[in-house]
Amino acid sequence: MKRKNAVVRGSIIGMALAVAGVAGLAGAANGAEKLMVYTSMKESLIGKLRDEFQKRHPEIAFDYYSAGAGKLMAKVAAERQSGRMTVDVLWHSEVPDFYALKRDGMLEKYVSPEAQNVRSPVKDPDGFFTPARLGTLGIAYNTKKVAVPPKSWPDLLDARFRNGLGIANPALSGTSFVSVSLLVNTFGWDYIQKLRRNGALVGQGSGQVVDDTASGDLLVTLAPDYIAVEKIRKGANLGLAFPKEMLVIPSPVAIVKGTPNRKAAEKFIDFLLSKDGQTIIASTGTLPIRSDVALPKELGLASTEEAVGRAMKLDYLKTMAEKEAILEKFDAIMKAK
């Protein structure tokens, strides 16, 4: 009978759907060792690291959550409140946060055997966090609209960049927050005010302002090296310029207190700091923290040694204490007409 078949078929489909749904919810493979890294590194970087790391440690179910440092920290805070921690390793560029986490006893102490090779303007003598990458920020510009690239920071105050400079929102992006702090520390708030008077805008995350520059929506922006490099490699209309005073931002990595996956976390950090790990990092266009890893020549980036030498200076502990005030002041300046 035809109708009966329809009913039977309907029921089977229904059951199958239900099973699929529940199976999905119940999902999440239960590997013996698990590792969840919260990082502000984009897929183009963390994805490659993941692939290599998995090759070496197939026993670890590795996963990561990639978002701006602001979001990561909000997520971590929310997890602390709810008492259900998902994060095992934290790796992003908002250095002050690591000082704050260390102060609050949120981090596990771990000194990797590889740590002795690390070159960085920032180091934690107590071993609660270790810089795993030296991010630099250059000035990315749209090659179609900007004929002569800016060479120095005061160049950005030029009328030809009027209403064309974008800065990622420091409340969302760690690199942006540290960049702003570095600029303020070096050139004073006056410089930020002048940028605003020249029509500087606040964007969203640090990736989006780069895309907006590539599309021509912005003319210039502060751009993390590897994000700009990836897009340039794909053919975007982008150029990247580095003024003499460099924005060099180490991205520390740390193990979150109380993680049940400490072993895996240590393995990951060791890998990250190893020559192999750093070679991958360098290949994406960001600076390694080891001087024994070479940068691909064609990128025209400064070497690790040189960058550390040219880097603007910052008192991270002080910056940590003043974080709220800095964000508010920046917000007030950028909202002013």
Contact residues for 232 (Cβ-Cβ < 8 A; gap 6+)? 238, 239, 240
Of 90, 118, 137, 172, which one interacts with another protein (CB under 8 A)?
Answer: 172
CB of 76 to another protein, least distance (A): 8
Task: Enumerate residues 126-155 that contact another protein by CB under 8 A.
Answer: 142
Q: How far is the CA of 198 from the CAs of 139, 214, 247, in angstroms? A: 16, 20, 21
Q: What are residue 138's DSSP bridge partners?
A: 223
State the Cα–Cα distance between residues 106 and 99, nearest whole angstrom. 10
Strands 33-39, 60-66: parallel, antiparallel or unpaired by DSSP?
A: parallel
Of 86, 186, 283, 291, which one interacts with another protein (CB under 8 A)?
Answer: 86
* Cβ closest to another protein, residue 204 vs residue 279: 204
**What are φ and ψ of residue 67, in 5° steps?**
-160, 170
CB of 14 to another protein, least distance (A): 7
Site string for another protein, 308-327 (x = CB under 8 A): --------------------
For residue 213, the number of C-alpha atoms closer than 13 Å in the C-beta half-sphere is 37
* Cβ closest to another protein, residue 6 vs residue 294: 6
Side chain identity, residue 332? A
State the Cα–Cα distance between residues 280 and 272, nearest whole angstrom. 9
Of 8, 12, 17, 111, which one interacts with another protein (CB under 8 A)?
Answer: 17
Of 31, 33, 65, 187, which one interacts with another protein (CB under 8 A)?
Answer: 65
CB of 90 to another protein, least distance (A): 12
Of 183, 218, 222, 311, which one interacts with another protein (CB under 8 A)?
Answer: 218
- Is residue 6 within the footprint of another protein (CB under 8 A)? yes
Task: Enumerate residues 21-60 that contact another protein by CB under 8 A.
Answer: 21-25, 27-28, 36, 38, 42-43, 47, 50
Of 155, 217, 276, 322, which one interacts with another protein (CB under 8 A)?
Answer: 217
State the Cα–Cα distance between residues 193 and 311, nearest whole angstrom. 22
Q: What are residue 221's DSSP bridge partners?
A: 140, 166
